[in-house]
Amino acid sequence: MTYPGGDDAERSSTTRSGEALRPVVVPPEDLDLGPVELELRPKRIRWVAWVLAVLLFAFFATGAGLVYVKSAGFNFRPADQVAMVVLGLLLAGGALLFTRPRLRAGRGGVEVRATILTRRVAWDDVVAVSFPDGAQFARLDLPDDEYLAVSAIQAVDKEHAARGIGALRALHARYGTPLS
């Protein structure tokens, strides 16, 4: 993409006022949280994910045991049975990804781990901690109308989510930059 009146590389690394841009959301290794003062994980989704994982594995393992009947019209071999068990393990492992969300906060900022990615944000870059009406997850409001979903604080957890958002807001009030 080209920008009028300037070099693309120069334009992408500076703002209009000429100051250097820095990423707001950074990989975990690029920001030190300091001592962790708050750690939150969702409750209900963890139970649901574990139950689903056990049921998926049990379903596929049972299916692998039952397909050995020779009068089924199709000959299943031991390799097919092993493949069904492995498929059950893979699906159960996929269900267990939903147990990963976590939020950790300390003096240096906030670490948000979702099902796959982990990101850290310094307190100076957090504009607000919000939980909009009707939203499934809390979020960290960032500059330029961006936000980072916090899947560790979920609406279905009700009281646990209310305590968690209150504690996170207290840390933001203590370490964040006040709005002028």
Contact 120, 26 (CB under 8 A): yes
**What CATH number does residue 119 fall under?**
2.30.29
Give 134-155 as a DSSP string.
T-SEEEEEETTTEEEEEEEEEG
CB-based contacts of 151, cutoff 8 Å, min separation 6: 42, 101, 112, 114, 115, 137
In-domain check, residue 117: yes
- One domain for residues 28 and 55: no
Tens digits of per-residue pLDDT, 35-94? 888 999 999 999 999 999 999 999 999 988 887 766 656 777 888 889 999 999 999 999
In-domain check, residue 4: no
Number of domains in the chain: 2
> Residue 91 phi/psi, 5° resolution?
-65, -40
In which residue are the tokens 């939203």 written? 135
- One domain for residues 69 and 140: no
Residue 10, pLDDT score: 40
Tens digits of per-residue pLDDT, 110-121? 999 998 888 889
The more confidently predicted of residues 180 and 122 is: 122
- One domain for residues 124 and 170: yes
Tens digits of per-residue pLDDT, 131-162? 999 889 999 999 888 899 999 999 999 999 99
Is 22 a residue whose pLDDT tops 80? no
Residue 7, pLDDT score: 44
The three-class DSSP label of residue 45 is helix
- Domain extent for 55: 46-97
19: pLDDT confidence band, cut at 50, 70 and 90? Answer: low
In-domain check, residue 62: yes
Is 9 a residue whose pLDDT tops 60? no
Both tokens assigned to 51: 């139950």
